[in-house]
Structure 1
Amino acid sequence: MGLEDLTNQAKEFLKSDQAEDISDKLLDGAADLANKVTGDKFSDQVEGARDAADKAVGNE
């Protein structure tokens, strides 16, 4: 298995249902932490960043 094969497998995984579930949980946790640390002062920016990251991983 070459590097190209591994790259293709990684790309396929990142667009899978499993990756979507994992990324949603991680992104939600990170957003919650960021909002807690900042006292929700930047909640709109945090949510925007969370949504942008979510679009890059998974299938939704």
Structure 2
Amino acid sequence: MGKLGDMANKAKELAKGHPDQADKGVAGAERVADERTGNKYDAQTDKAADAVRRSYGSGGTTER
């Protein structure tokens, strides 16, 4: 696997170990994306954030 894949796997493992902090980061990234696009892609960012949370096993969602 290349460097990017290795980094992604490392990030996923860290997120699994610290899901609360990872949830805050995902929520922050989602908020920034929504702000910069004027919420034009809100449904897509919600879906992407949920997919990321599922990838590291987070059951909860963090309110923006």
Same fold (TM over 0.5): yes
TM-score with structure 1 setting the length: 0.67
Distance 1:46 1:58 in 2: 18
Classify 1:12/1:44 alpha carbon distance in 2 versus 1 (closer, same or farther; 3 Å): closer
Q: Which has the higher helix share?
A: 1
Unaligned runs of at least 5 residues, structure 1: 1-9
Distance 2:25 2:13 in 1: 19
Deviations 1:24-60 (A, max 9, x none): 1000000000000000000000000000001112442
TM-score with structure 2 setting the length: 0.63
Letter in 2 for 1:51: D
Compare CA radii of gyration and give the structure with the larger one.
1
